């Protein structure tokens, strides 16, 4: 025992140095490995967040918008909202496309009453996310929120809208309130009794409105649809999927034709660049409305016809 103590006292510096080195050799790699793992976890989290928050990636069509195009598009949105936030609706109205004005807000007063006063009662902050890119149409999902700095309200509500950038008269303009745009069609079909011309359609995020001109060639009053069912006026796509008209929003007199009449019909067709409409179908046209009204049981009336128009 004394011999061991003498040996330890003589070599203790070397012994403790060896122990310290051994501890360092064992623990340092473990520390470095854990540090690297933590960094990888943080990097993954940042990458995931960046992917989901990338405003230039179209969520629905799964496409990246070119940086220059995306910057140009979002600048137009920024300017429009800035005008609204700064109580300058006249300037904001100038940014709207002609189609948007004609379809939704024919006058500045209608824009102020129906959109500006309803949305921008207070200043709004907002988030932008690219939603659908289709040819020259770029649609962005806009989340408009109460600006806490201006309202002092921490319990903020939000309004969801969709803005679409379109090229018009050598300039870029804006469609708002979920309005995508107007598309010309100019297709028609005629029979001995009438001619139906489909001039165009106004496309919205949740529906489409088809604009028609109907010519009655007879001396009788014709009803474009009996409205006895909800699926007799519809659109067909390439997969034969039906999109019915909003028949509950139509009154009979709107569909009654003597001579020539402009009619607009709304269909339950959400905006989808992958589904192409091939036909519009009117399957329950009443050829003599006056005679039809004399029937107590309308289903007994037989003088009906169907017109399908290829689009």
Count Cβ atoms within 10 A of the Cβ of residue 42 and give its class: 0-12 exposed, 13-18 middle, 19 or more buried.
exposed
Same domain, 190 and 171: no
With the CA atoms of 222, 227, 230 and 235 taken in that order, what torsion angle do they form, in degrees rounded to the nearest 10? 20
Same domain, 153 and 271: no
Same domain, 186 and 92: no
Answer yes or no: is 52 within a domain. Answer: no
250-257 contacts at long range (C-beta below 8 A, 24 or more positions apart): 250/225, 252/223, 252/227, 255/223, 255/224, 255/225, 255/227, 256/221, 256/222, 256/223, 256/224, 256/289, 257/194, 257/214, 257/215, 257/216, 257/221, 257/222, 257/223, 257/224
Same domain, 235 and 139: no
How many Å apart are CA 58 and CA 64, to the nearest integer?
6
How many Å apart are CA 90 and CA 104, to the nearest integer?
16
Residue range(s) defining the domain that contains residue 40: 1-46
Answer yes or no: is 51 within a domain. Answer: no
Answer yes or no: is 122 within a domain. Answer: yes
The reported pTM is 0.79
Quote the tokens at residue 252. 């009979």
165-184 residue pLDDT tens: 999 988 999 999 999 999 99
Same domain, 197 and 94: no
Same domain, 19 and 127: no
> Which pLDDT value is given to residue 18?
63
> Which pLDDT value is given to residue 29?
53
> Which pLDDT value is given to residue 216?
98
> Which pLDDT value is given to residue 69?
86
Last residue of a domain, one of 128, 144, 177: 177
Residue 16 CB contacts under 8 Å (≥ 6 apart), including other chains: none
Answer yes or no: is 166 within a domain. Answer: yes
Domain of 124, CATH number, reads: 3.10.450.100
Same domain, 161 and 116: yes
Answer yes or no: is 249 within a domain. Answer: yes
Same domain, 161 and 127: yes
How many Å apart are CA 131 and CA 90, to the nearest integer?
27
> Which pLDDT value is given to residue 301?
98
CA distances from 85 to 73, 124, 168, 203 (A): 19, 7, 25, 27
CA distances from 28 to 24, 32, 34 (A): 6, 6, 10
Domain of 303, CATH number, reads: 2.60.40
Question: Contact at 8 Å (CB) between 161 and 144?
Answer: yes
Quote the tokens at residue 69. 């195009």
Residues of the chain with pLDDT under 70: 1-56, 59, 61-62, 135, 147-156
Residue 201 CB contacts under 8 Å (≥ 6 apart), including other chains: 182, 183, 185, 208, 209, 210, 211
How many Å apart are CA 101 and CA 114, to the nearest integer?
12
> Which pLDDT value is given to residue 26?
61
Same domain, 96 and 40: no
Same domain, 306 and 186: yes
Last residue of a domain, one of 151, 177, 203: 177
Q: Which region holds residue 169: left if phi is over 0, alpha if psi is between -120 and 50, else beta? A: left
Same domain, 171 and 186: no
Same domain, 63 and 122: yes
If one counts the domains in the chain, the total is: 3
How many Å apart are CA 114 and CA 94, to the nearest integer?
16
118-154 in b/e form (b: 16+ CB < 10 A) is ebbeebbbbebbbbbbbeebbbbbbebebbeeeeeee
> Which pLDDT value is given to residue 41?
41
Helix (H) or strand (E) holding 41, with range, is: helix 2-52
Answer yes or no: is 35 within a domain. Answer: yes
> Which pLDDT value is given to residue 42?
37
Answer yes or no: is 67 within a domain. Answer: yes
Helix (H) or strand (E) holding 5, with range, is: helix 2-52
């Amino acid at each position: 025992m004394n011999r061991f103590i003498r040996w330890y006292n003589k070599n203790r510096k070397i012994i403790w140095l060896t122990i310290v080195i051994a501890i360092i050799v064992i623990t340092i790699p473990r520390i470095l490995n854990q540090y690297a793992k933590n960094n990888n976890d943080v990097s993954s989290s940042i990458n995931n967040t960046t992917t989901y928050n990338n405003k230039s990636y179209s969520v629905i069509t799964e496409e990246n918008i070119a940086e220059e195009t995306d910057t140009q598009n979002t600048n137009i949105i920024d300017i429009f909202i800035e005008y609204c936030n700064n109580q300058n609706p006249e300037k904001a109205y100038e940014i709207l496309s002609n189609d948007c004005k004609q379809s939704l807000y024919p006058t500045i007063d209608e824009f102020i009453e129906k959109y500006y006063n309803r949305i921008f009662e207070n200043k709004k902050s907002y988030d932008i996310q690219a939603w659908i890119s289709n040819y020259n149409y770029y649609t962005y999902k806009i989340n408009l929120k109460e600006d806490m700095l201006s309202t002092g309200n921490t319990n903020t509500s939000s309004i969801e809208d969709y803005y679409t950038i379109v090229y018009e008269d050598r300039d870029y303009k804006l469609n708002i309130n979920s309005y995508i745009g107007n598309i010309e069609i100019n297709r028609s079909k005629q029979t001995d009794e009438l001619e139906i011309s489909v001039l165009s359609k106004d496309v919205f995020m949740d529906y489409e409105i088809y604009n028609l001109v109907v010519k009655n060639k007879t001396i009788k009053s014709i009803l474009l649809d009996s409205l006895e069912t909800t699926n007799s006026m519809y659109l067909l796509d390439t997969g034969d999927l039906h999109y019915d008209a909003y028949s509950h929003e139509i009154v009979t007199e709107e569909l009654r034709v003597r001579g020539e009449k402009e009619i607009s019909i709304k269909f339950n067709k959400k905006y989808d660049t992958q589904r192409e409409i091939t036909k519009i179908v009117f399957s329950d046209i009443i050829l003599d409305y006056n005679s039809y009204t004399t029937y107590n049981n309308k289903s007994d009336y037989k003088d009906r016809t169907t017109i399908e128009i290829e689009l």
